[in-house]
Chain A
Amino acid sequence: MLESLPYELPELVTRAPLDTHRSTVLPEWVDWNGHMNVAFYVTAFDQASGAFMRNMGLGRRYVDGKLGMTFVLETHVTYDREMKGGAPMRFTTQLLGCDAKKVHLFHEMYHAELGYLASTNETIVMNIDYATRRSAPWPLPVGERLETLWATHRPLPKPAKAGRVMGLSKKA
């Protein structure tokens, strides 16, 4: 485990849920149906996971400094409403759990002006050792930050769309 990180960490945001990430639907994310393509919802959520990781102290410098990386293991998306090119997005992020190497996150994507829920994303992200490209425990200061954040997020209710298993109800 890394005992420290060789750069200054940003001030930790502990709001529950986190609500700092904003983005815009890029023109190249729109498909022949005239809305944001399914894949780019995942890209937009991946950037929200990136914002979460920066808050933990694991931004670009973590990778460029050849210290480590974070890999997504699994992800689940609900597509609740369409988003058009240029639409502003607002994200919230709730920590649902964490262990020595992984975090379990739940993102919600809202249309930032109209306010509606567009999509949700539940995801597992794992810390990776740069040299071996294998899983490794969080650096010590990151583990401490996760503990602090977990204390504020743990009391939040579990989101209704978390923990879903896909299937047909037979009543379409």
Chain B
Amino acid sequence: MIELDTGAPLDLHRASVKPEWIDWNGHMNVGYYVVAFDQATDTMCKQFGCGFEYTRDKIGMTFVLEAHVTYDREVKEGDALRITTQILDHDAKRIHYIHAMYHADEGYLAATNELMLMNIDYASRRSAPWPDFAMERIEKMAAAHATLAVPKQAGRLIGLPKKK
């Protein structure tokens, strides 16, 4: 396994906006923000030994149970993205975390994605506790992230300011 990165937040993931991610409004489509964020989840899971090989070798999988996205600013084709990841909470089977996507050159916040991820047993496709090798690393990363403030985009409720 790769060396564990306990920087807080995790600040490893980089990407750029692909031409096929652009929609008729001339900016990255809402679905592809989540593609970019899902790739950042892969970067996090790789830290725990639960990346592509975890599934390829038929050990387990990770499924997203729930997701919340805030679309804060547009990004255009070719823009460089920097995505940071902060663990908010975890238990025997799940991790609650939030990604923040920044325009890597201009520095502005483009979007956030709060997620609940669950470990899945490969054979039964049902929830299962994290393997020991993963749990040890999740706990180390969570401890490192515990010092961070909870971002204001976490725990949001969707609604309009006043109903008609």
Q: Are A33 and B29 in contact (CB under 8 A)?
A: no
**Binary contact readout A143-171 vs B (1 if CB under 8 angstroms, 0 otherwise):** 00000001000000000001111111010
CB distance from A143 to the nearest CB of B (A): 11
Pick from A3-11, A15-23, A38-46, A107-115 the stretch touching chain B. A38-46
Q: Are B31 and A42 in contact (CB under 8 A)?
A: yes
A73: chain B residues at CB < 8 Å are 70-71
- Give complex CA distance A38, B64 in Å: 7
Q: Are A72 and B96 in contact (CB under 8 A)?
A: no
Within 8 A of A (CB), among B139-164: 154-164
- Give complex CA distance A17, B69 in Å: 24
The answer to whether A116 has its CB under 8 Å from any CB of chain B is: no
Q: Are B30 and A104 in contact (CB under 8 A)?
A: no
- Give complex CA distance A75, B37 in Å: 14
The answer to whether A83 has its CB under 8 Å from any CB of chain B is: no
A32: chain B residues at CB < 8 Å are 52, 55-56
Q: Are B64 and A98 in contact (CB under 8 A)?
A: no
- Give complex CA distance A122, B164 in Å: 18
Q: Are B31 and A172 in contact (CB under 8 A)?
A: no
Q: Are B96 and A168 in contact (CB under 8 A)?
A: yes
The answer to whether B12 has its CB under 8 Å from any CB of chain A is: no
CB distance from A103 to the nearest CB of B (A): 8
B contacts with A: majority SS: mixed
B38: chain A residues at CB < 8 Å are 37-39
Q: Which of A37, A98, A166 contacts B96 (CB 8 A)?
A: A166
B1: chain A residues at CB < 8 Å are none
What residue in chain A is nearest B114 (Cβ atoms)? A166
The answer to whether B83 has its CB under 8 Å from any CB of chain A is: no
The answer to whether A123 has its CB under 8 Å from any CB of chain B is: yes
- Give complex CA distance A115, B154 in Å: 33
Q: Are B155 and A168 in contact (CB under 8 A)?
A: no
Within 8 A of B (CB), among A61-85: 63-64, 69, 71-79, 82
Knowing that A98-B164, A166-B66 are A-B contacts, what are 18 other residue pairs whose CB atoms are under 8 Å apart, sorted by A's residue number? A32-B52, A33-B63, A39-B37, A42-B69, A43-B30, A46-B30, A46-B31, A74-B70, A74-B71, A75-B30, A75-B68, A76-B66, A78-B65, A82-B125, A99-B162, A164-B157, A166-B154, A172-B93
- Give 8 closest A-B pairs by Cβ, nearest first: A43-B31, A39-B34, A39-B35, A42-B31, A172-B93, A172-B91, A38-B64, A77-B67
Give the B-binding residues of A (Cβ under 8 A): 32-33, 37-40, 42-43, 46, 60, 63-64, 69, 71-79, 82, 97-99, 102, 104, 122-124, 133, 150, 162-168, 170, 172
A selection of 17 A-B contacts at a CB cut-off of 8 Å is: A32-B52, A32-B55, A39-B32, A43-B31, A46-B29, A60-B24, A72-B30, A75-B30, A76-B158, A78-B66, A79-B63, A97-B164, A162-B158, A164-B157, A165-B157, A166-B68, A167-B155
